[in-house]
A and B are shown apart, each in its own frame.
Chain A
Amino acid sequence: MNILMLGWELPPHNSGGLGVACYNMSKALALEGAVIDFVVPYQAEHTGIDFMTVHGAVDLSPLQRFNLGAYDIYTSKDISGLDSMRSVQQRYTKFVEKMIQITKPDVIHCHDWLTMEAGMRAKELTGAPLVAHIHATEFDRSGNHRGNQLVHEIEYNGLMMADRVIAVSGITKNIIIDKYKIPADKIEVVHNAIDTTELNDGYKYDNRTYKYLEALKSEGYTVVSTITRFTIQKGLFHFIRAAARACEKYSKLVFLLAGDGEQRDELIKLAADLGIADRVFFTGFVRGKQWRDAYSVSDIFVMSSVSEPFGLTALEAAHHGNALIITKQSGVGEVLSNIFRYDFWQEDVLANQIIGIATSDALRESLQQNVHNEYARLSWDDVAQSCNRVYGLAQKGIVV
């Protein structure tokens, strides 16, 4: 099977989860015997990728392309950013047009709106079936506000033209049905997985990284964290207000907000307004050791998203021994049972869950141990098998 995989990023040149998901999915598909041509919109070495051919479609460095991040660009008011994004997309599509004159794929697999136009063009020219893989829609990125109309249109056309659609969760599937009016039987849910071998790279927790938090822990404090981009999608205002409610009833709580984003200043101000500024720790953007140690120092990980198609960070937090509290609007909650869930606006429910875990060893240990035993069952091999099944359906051209 020859797969033309149309992506936007691959590690180490990734800014988010999309690159990680594409990498792991392709690797597992290659292991099952697929021959993959993977297109990215920049020129760079991908050392360590020998299981497929990576094609750089546009003469940009990964760094230049970072400025056109897959998720952040149109949340800013800078229209020129979107303009240059469009020009990159057009050059990307031209490259794909040339490429398919040489090799004809058996299936075209595109990821999110960024590569959908190239996918549709490739389908038009080759007649090969198109699979549109949806990791996030414009509705998710805009936190259920309107978002960008042009992006909506591209998404709609891509979803209509695709022979099959893969959604990363039932939540995403429902958005595709409700907002884009795509028939349910054209959409398959294939949940993402986590590659634990990558996390087991000899990492050891360094308790000096967050020394002050460690000192608080030794005094009986519980560390509640979230590691995320500070955007409207993530529901962090509710999280901070829930933190304040929890502090009313139980004093030994500290909150670690690792990450950065346009809401940072407002969040700091809100914590101060609520009188819990000294309980909330803002780390800024974390990478590498600081990033992993943030998971490790934490006892409870909260995913407060208003709309989260999947939410890989929850699985990473589970790997590092956290108890998980996840909104019912986050897709990852569909594949985990040993977690607390709440609706993103239910601040008192979240506060109650946090206090419960902080004040009961039995509850904390049960949640931590049971989700740790659970999360690793999600494997990319299963994802690859599901993709192969979807390819088969797409090639038959029938809706089952």
Chain B
Amino acid sequence: MNTDKKRGIVLYLHVHQPYRVRNYSVFDTATNHDYFDDVANKQVFEKVADKSYRPMNALLQKLLDKHPDFKLSLSITGTFIEQATKWAPDVIASFKKLVASGRVEIVAETYNHSLAFFYSRSEFEYQVKLHQDKIREVFGVETNVFRNTELAYNDKLAKWAEEYGFSGILAEGWDPILQWRSPNQMYRPAGTTDISLLLKNYKLSDDVAFRFSDRDWNDWPLDADTYNDWVGMSADGNSIVNLFMDYETFGEHQWHDTGIFDFYENFVGKWLGAPDNTFYTVSGAIDAFPPVAEISMPVTVTWADTERDLTAWTGNSMQQEALRYIYAMEDDILRTDDVQLIADWRKLQTSDNFYYMCTKWFADGDVHAYFSPYDSPYDAFLFYLNVIRDLRWRLHQDHHTGGLNG
């Protein structure tokens, strides 16, 4: 028990937009190499900027200005930064201003929001470095704590992160792993000595991220007093409460008219109204609280779905084939030194591409759980497959490497 430290919330928000592949037909293959739907991507970006990025950054700035103890951490993907730079430079400027406060930490991840860790260690490491470079270039800060795409975590990843030099890593605080232990403590990944593990308090995180506007939920409507009580009870006698969620929770998943912005502003005020309470950045929490115990996750755990696994990205044969095809090209692609080809290949690694091919909700008949720009997962796979063929065509035609096979 850390009696000399204030109990605190570790708020961490994940910021991401993918490049969505357009309805790329077999008649485009070997003819056009423009795979991404610029019009649709721009439209989505501008919509989410208006609904979420602009109002939420304004709120975060307000909270930072008003409360000296308010702090948070953000992970911002490379694909987000690229699109924001093109289509909403004011959004980048507002993120820069937040980071300039010194109380907003940027968390490291793969530049392309990819699952490369599970398919190519060299590509994975390259994307982490690419992201660090981009964050340094845009925000002028270093990253010290790592999160993997979809919070996909296992012991090997922790070992890698330690060796790479990160001081902390994020994961899901999943009950079957934790058992009697609380997610509100700092842990040490099994087999490491120098890195701390922060586990998401998924109950309190998901109350806001998923249930806030659910009218069938017993606790709807949730107000700031109640939520403050819950967080207080959870943190009682403990050190930290890790509230990890998608940034787009604010304004996009939970619309403005649900009251999400007012709710959060009130909640932060109430939490900091008690003298024992504070906020920590991820690094701040790691500095303040040494690990209390070791935790092992030999099998990959994610923050997704009730299964907390990777089946939404790798569960069916179409996804497995698509992933196999894209990573099988690695050597041939990189050898070309063709900047455009390599950039296209990396954009295609973004995990959203594989998520759109997920059929497990279709199998359950619960199509509504499925968010996708495509009519069906089969369309997603079909367009992706035509793009894969075009990549092979470019390798074959322009670089005389690789086969066309299929």
Contacts and interface: CB of A to CB of B under 8 A. Distances in A.
Interface of A: 245, 249-250, 337-341, 348-349, 351-353, 355-356, 359-363, 365-367, 370, 373-374, 377
A362 B323 CA distance: 12
Contacts of B27: 245, 249, 348, 351-352
Contacts of B378: 338-340, 363, 366-367
Contacts of B120: none
Interface stretch (B110-118, B250-258, B303-311, B314-322): B314-322
Contacts of A337: 362, 365, 367, 376
Given A359-B406, A365-B317, A352 B26 contact: yes
Contacts of B376: 337-341
Nearest to B320: A362
B382 A363 contact: yes
Contacts of B317: 361-362, 365-366
B316 A366 contact: yes
Given A337-B362, A366-B378, A349 B321 contact: no
A335 to B, nearest CB: 10
B359 interface: yes
7 contacts: A340-B378, A340-B382, A348-B27, A352-B386, A366-B359, A370-B362, A373-B363
A232 to B, nearest CB: 26
A355 B359 CA distance: 21
Given A348-B25, A356-B382, 20 more contacts: A245-B27, A249-B27, A250-B26, A337-B362, A337-B365, A337-B367, A337-B376, A351-B26, A352-B27, A352-B386, A356-B385, A360-B321, A360-B385, A362-B317, A363-B378, A365-B317, A366-B317, A366-B318, A366-B378, A373-B363
B281 to A, nearest CB: 43
A55 to B, nearest CB: 40
A362 B388 CA distance: 14
Chain A to chain B: the 10 pairs with minimum beta-carbon distance, closest first: A356-B382, A362-B317, A362-B321, A352-B25, A337-B362, A362-B318, A352-B26, A355-B26, A249-B26, A366-B318
B363 A370 contact: yes
B379 interface: yes
A31 B311 CA distance: 42
A249 to B, nearest CB: 5
Contacts of B375: 341
A280 B363 CA distance: 34
B12 interface: no
A338 B359 contact: yes
B247 interface: no
Contacts of B261: none
B381 interface: yes
A340 B379 contact: yes
Nearest to A341: B375
Nearest to A249: B26
A360 B382 CA distance: 9
Contacts of A348: 25, 27
Interface residues of B, number: 22
B200 to A, nearest CB: 31
Nearest to A349: B25
A346 to B, nearest CB: 10
B365 A377 contact: yes
B386 A356 contact: yes
Contacts of B316: 362, 366
Nearest to B317: A362
Contacts of B26: 249-250, 351-352, 355-356
A366 B379 CA distance: 12
Nearest to A370: B359
A352 B24 CA distance: 9
Contacts of A339: 376, 378
Contacts of B320: 362
A356 B406 CA distance: 11
A41 B296 CA distance: 75
A50 B59 CA distance: 72
Contacts of B382: 340, 352-353, 356, 363
Contacts of A363: 318, 378, 381-382, 385
A340 B27 CA distance: 18
A348 B406 CA distance: 20
Contacts of A373: 363
Interface string B366-378: 0100000001101
A203 B25 CA distance: 39
A338 B318 CA distance: 13
A131 to B, nearest CB: 28
B52 to A, nearest CB: 29
A252 to B, nearest CB: 12
B393 to A, nearest CB: 13
A245 B26 CA distance: 10
A365 B376 CA distance: 15
A338 B385 contact: no
Nearest to B316: A366
A361 B318 CA distance: 9
Q: Which of A349, A352, A370, A377 has the most CB of B within 10 A?
A: A352
B311 to A, nearest CB: 14
A359 B363 CA distance: 24
Contacts of B363: 370, 373
Interface in B347-397: 359, 362-363, 365, 367, 375-376, 378-379, 381-382, 385-386
A370 B375 CA distance: 16
Contacts of B318: 360, 362-363, 366
B379 to A, nearest CB: 7
Nearest to A366: B318
A353 B406 CA distance: 15
Contacts of A370: 359, 362-363
B396 to A, nearest CB: 16
A339 B321 CA distance: 19
A359 B406 CA distance: 7
A179 B265 CA distance: 52
A351 B386 CA distance: 13
Q: Which of B362, B363, B365, B378 has the most CB of A within 10 A?
A: B378
A370 B317 CA distance: 12
Contacts of B365: 337, 374, 377
A361 B381 CA distance: 12
A353 B382 CA distance: 7
A374 B376 CA distance: 15
A277 B365 CA distance: 41
A253 B362 CA distance: 29
B110 to A, nearest CB: 25
A251 to B, nearest CB: 13
Contacts of B379: 340
Contacts of B406: 359
A356 B317 CA distance: 15
A64 B363 CA distance: 46
Contacts of B367: 337
A278 to B, nearest CB: 22
Contacts of B25: 348-349, 352
Contacts of B385: 356, 359-360, 363
